Structure 1
Amino acid sequence: MVPVIELRGGVPFGTALGLPVGQALVAAIIGNMIPIPFIIVYIRRIFLWMRRKSKKLNALVDKLEKKAHLKGQKVSKYKYVGLWLFVAIPLPGTGAWTGALVAAFLNMPLRKALPSIFLGVVTAGLIMTFATGLVVATVGG
């Protein structure tokens, strides 16, 4: 699981490997959610450590922080509903990992951000499951 693909690739990939759709969806949701609490709680400390290590890592942190702040502008107006919708939209640059980064930089408490991100992941998973089913029905049938 990589940040660019996350659940959006997990559902179609799992289905392509022969998993039943329900199992592919559940596996993608679980796999997508495992790092989320760690990102929200520890990302600022990790970024500080990375900044001290090297200039290359410092540049990477700058890039990620800029991304989080830009995405955070969209989320901050609607808070937790905005976070849910941001994570739920299956487009590049959105998703649970970016949503967790945004939540961390908006100082959203884990206990409030986690349910929004989880609902977003489930919503995105259902969208991707539906889209995968359409593609399979169209191409396979």
Structure 2
Amino acid sequence: MAETIANWFVTTFEGTLAREWIVFLVSLLPILELRGGIIAGFAMNMEWLPTFIIAYIGNILPIPFILLFIRYIFKVLKKTPMRRVVEWCERRAEQKSEQIRKYAYWGVFLFVA
């Protein structure tokens, strides 16, 4: 599925956008993320290192905004038909919060290492 969507981006926008922008935009999408960006770069015959760097930046860029605005986004979504999904996500996060606090040091250690 990721390959199909990435190839659609390539065939649709290759003449109008630079290859680097296509990789970046594909990497921003939640479904495709890094994998889709790399597939799109290879489909356009880009070198592997620039493809990986651009896809990685595109994949990481939304994270600070999500962390900053997730409470506001949930507040807005609770007023829509997505209310049950949002409440489920909040309950699940609350259930896992103690486990995350307990192993936070080791999780960060392993992630950085």
Instruction: State the alpha-carbon separation in 1 of the partners of residues 70 and 102 from structure 2.
Output: 22
1:28-68 residue CA offsets vs partner (Å, 9 max, x unmatched): 111111111111111012101221x22x1212312433554
* Deviation, structure 1 residue 81: 4.8
TM-score (norm 2): 0.55
Secondary structure at 1:3 match in 2: coil
Contact 1:14–1:24, Cα closer than 8 Å, also in 2: yes
Could you say what the CA RMSD is over the residues aligned between the two structures, in angstroms? 3.1
TM-score (norm 1): 0.46
Aligned pairs for 1:1-141 within 5 A? 1-51=28-78, 53-54=79-80, 56-66=81-91, 68=93, 75-79=100-104, 81-82=106-107
Unpaired runs of 5+ in structure 1? 86-115, 124-141
Greater relative contact order structure (CA < 8 Å, 6+ sep)? 1
**What is the number of residues matched between the two proteins?**
86
One-letter amino acid of the structure 2 residue matched with residue 79 of structure 1? A
